């Protein structure tokens, strides 16, 4: 893969200031496979992991360096906007976010020691390759992704695996990922925005499915309407109210229709009870003998007439069932069309007086009692004035 010119060893790169240098062990160019440049560091287990990890911050500083871009298309921009990373001009063709990758090849130790060395270097240099953590606040979750625009992708392997499988085999471990992959797969940034979007789409699908199942359970039992939300704000006779659907319940229009229907039925029942109260009132107080004697009005017609003339329906609001015995006093009621009167003397009571179920205000009205004479009080004019006896406090007219 590539040619001899694709390799360069011990290449020095000056850092800003010109005093420090970065010298990778090798620079490999393979633009034909999507790798414009790859910096290679070889460690023979003679350096401490901390010293190896200290090289990567210098690589990031080197890759941050920008130079002026002489592209004519950028001539109308500000000077600060006419700059570009130097490595993009030196090795064009970079399509991945972040800086050019760096490969770490370890050798001259056992498999366990080499694995521990790679892990130690990764832990000590995490600030260089981990990337910046980002979140989407409006998604209301603890998930997120990492941005690699200021991160150095680092891949590691052993010389033994590289010699066995080649650079395109599954020998590379990308710092921050699990397992070993081919070079192209290892250079793909893990947990980026694209991966987050896939996870978020899966979560939204699950939420939509659960929401739809909930809405299907809240279908209206009258009209079959399936709501879009569990709770909505509706306007009723008492103003704006929050209406929450329940399984086996009704939508707001059907609920309003049902409430109005129940109110109408209650009013009809109340009116029927008022009519029955008036009939009982006439039977018990006005018509103890049954039908009206004057005009022979039916009980229900007489009840309606009494309701219209006396406004009795405004007083018959309580519903009480009590035993009531018709009164025996004189009682009469006159109307504009006919006069209904009870006899001056009550008919003889039967052996067992029937009880009348009174439905109306308590206590029921009683006939007026006959006036009772009050005891006579002697007047002052009829009182006798006694003269004091003579000689006792009497005064002579001559005195």
Q: Is residue 61 part of a domain?
A: yes
What was the pLDDT predicted at 148? 92
User: Which among 365, 364, 327 has a CA at the least distance from the CA of 343?
Assistant: 327
CB 280 within 8 A of CB 300: no
Q: Three-class SS of residue 333?
A: strand
What was the pLDDT predicted at 315? 44
Whether the bond into 363 is cis, omega within 30 of 0: yes
What was the pLDDT predicted at 137? 82
Q: Is pLDDT larger for residue 234 or for residue 100? A: 100
CB 150 within 8 A of CB 158: no
- Give the integer Cα–Cα distance in Å for 124 and 122: 6
Q: Is residue 135 part of a domain?
A: yes
Any idea which of 117-126, 141-150, 295-304 has the lowest mean pLDDT?
A: 295-304
Any idea which of 138-147, 156-165, 275-284, 367-376 has the lowest mean pLDDT?
A: 367-376
Q: Is residue 265 part of a domain?
A: no
What was the pLDDT predicted at 307? 57
What was the pLDDT predicted at 17? 73
Number of domains in the chain: 3
The DSSP letter of residue 46 is -
What was the pLDDT predicted at 262? 92
- Give the integer Cα–Cα distance in Å for 23 and 307: 112
Q: Is pLDDT larger for residue 324 or for residue 139? A: 139
pLDDT grade, residue 241 (50/70/90)?
confident
What was the pLDDT predicted at 130? 92
What was the pLDDT predicted at 325? 42
- Give the integer Cα–Cα distance in Å for 342 and 229: 67
179 and 222 together in one domain = no
Q: Is pLDDT larger for residue 234 or for residue 398? A: 234
Residue range 27-52: mean pLDDT, rounded = 92
Q: What is the pLDDT of residues 351-398, one digit of tens each?
A: 444 444 444 554 555 555 555 555 554 544 444 445 545 544 444 444
Q: Is pLDDT larger for residue 56 or for residue 382? A: 56
Q: Has residue 73 got a pLDDT over 60?
A: yes
What was the pLDDT predicted at 346? 43
Whose structure tokens read 């250079």? Answer: 187
Q: 90: left (phi > 0), else alpha (psi -120 to 50), else beta? A: alpha
* Domain limits for position 215: 201-256
Q: Is residue 374 part of a domain?
A: no
73 and 153 together in one domain = yes
137 and 9 together in one domain = yes
Q: Is pLDDT larger for residue 111 or for residue 238? A: 111
| Beta-sheet pairing, 102-106 with 83-85 | unpaired
Q: Is residue 378 part of a domain?
A: no
User: Which among 119, 95, 91, 65 has a CA at the least distance from the CA of 187?
Assistant: 95
- Give the integer Cα–Cα distance in Å for 291 and 286: 10
What was the pLDDT predicted at 385? 44
CB 183 within 8 A of CB 193: no
Residue range 43-53: mean pLDDT, rounded = 93
What was the pLDDT predicted at 100? 94
- The segment with the largest mean pLDDT, out of 14-23, 118-127, 300-309, is 118-127
Please give the mean pLDDT across all residues of the chain: 76
105 and 250 together in one domain = no
66 and 183 together in one domain = yes
To the question of pTM greater than 0.85 for the whole model, the response is: no
Residue range 288-312: mean pLDDT, rounded = 51
Residue range 319-340: mean pLDDT, rounded = 39
Burial class (CB in 10 A: 0-12, 13-18, 19+), 45: middle
Q: What is the pLDDT of residues 193-233, one digit of tens each?
A: 999 999 999 999 999 999 999 999 999 998 989 988 888 88
206 and 183 together in one domain = no
192 and 208 together in one domain = no
Q: Has residue 292 got a pLDDT over 50?
A: no
Q: Has residue 312 got a pLDDT over 70?
A: no
284 and 246 together in one domain = no
What was the pLDDT predicted at 289? 47
175 and 215 together in one domain = no
126 and 226 together in one domain = no
Q: Is pLDDT larger for residue 329 or for residue 96? A: 96
Q: Has residue 41 got a pLDDT over 90?
A: yes
CA angle 284, 286, 289 (to 5 degrees): 70
Q: Is residue 379 part of a domain?
A: no
Q: Three-class SS of residue 221?
A: coil
Q: Has residue 316 got a pLDDT over 50?
A: no
206 and 170 together in one domain = no
29 and 139 together in one domain = yes
């Amino acid at each position: 893969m590539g040619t001899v010119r694709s390799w360069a060893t011990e290449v020095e790169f000056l850092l800003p200031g010109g005093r420090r240098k970065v010298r990778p062990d090798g620079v490999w160019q393979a633009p034909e496979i999507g790798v414009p440049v790859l910096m290679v560091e070889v460690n023979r287990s003679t350096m401490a992991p901390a010293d190896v990890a200290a090289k990567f911050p210098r690589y990031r500083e080197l890759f941050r360096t920008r130079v002026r871009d002489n592209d004519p298309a950028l001539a109308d921009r500000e000077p600060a906007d006419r700059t570009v990373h130097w490595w993009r001009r030196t090795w064009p063709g970079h399509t991945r976010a972040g800086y050019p990758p760096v490969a770490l090849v370890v050798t001259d130790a056992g498999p366990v020691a080499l694995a521990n060395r790679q892990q130690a270097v990764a832990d000590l240099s995490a600030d260089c390759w981990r990337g910046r953590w980002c979140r989407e606040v409006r998604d209301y979750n603890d998930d997120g992704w990492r941005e690699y625009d200021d991160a150095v992708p680092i891949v590691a392997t052993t010389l033994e695996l590289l010699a066995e499988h080649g650079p395109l085999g599954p020998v590379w471990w990308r710092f921050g990922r699990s397992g070993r992959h081919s070079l192209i797969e290892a250079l793909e940034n893990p947990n980026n925005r694209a991966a987050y979007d896939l996870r978020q789409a899966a979560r939204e699908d699950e939420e939509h499915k659960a929401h739809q199942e909930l809405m299907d359970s809240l279908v209206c039992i009258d009209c079959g309407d399936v709501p879009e939300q569990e709770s909505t704000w509706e306007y009723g006779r008492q103003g704006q109210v929050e209406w929450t659907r329940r399984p086996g319940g009704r939508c707001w229009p059907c609920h309003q229709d049902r409430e109005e229907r129940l109110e109408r039925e209650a009013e009809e029942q109340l009116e029927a009870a008022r009519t029955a109260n008036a009939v009982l009132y006439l039977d018990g107080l006005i018509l103890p003998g049954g039908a009206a004697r004057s005009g022979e009005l039916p009980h229900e017609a007489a009840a309606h007439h009494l309701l219209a003339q006396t406004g009795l329906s405004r007083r018959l609001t309580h519903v009480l069932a009590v035993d009531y015995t018709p009164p025996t006093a004189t009682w009469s009621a006159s109307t504009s069309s006919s006069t209904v009167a009870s006899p001056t003397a009550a008919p003889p009571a039967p052996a067992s007086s029937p009880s009348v179920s009174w439905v109306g205000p308590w206590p029921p009205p009683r006939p007026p009692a006959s006036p009772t004479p009050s005891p006579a009080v002697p007047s002052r004019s009829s009182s006798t004035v006694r003269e004091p006896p003579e000689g006792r406090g009497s005064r002579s007219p001559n005195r």
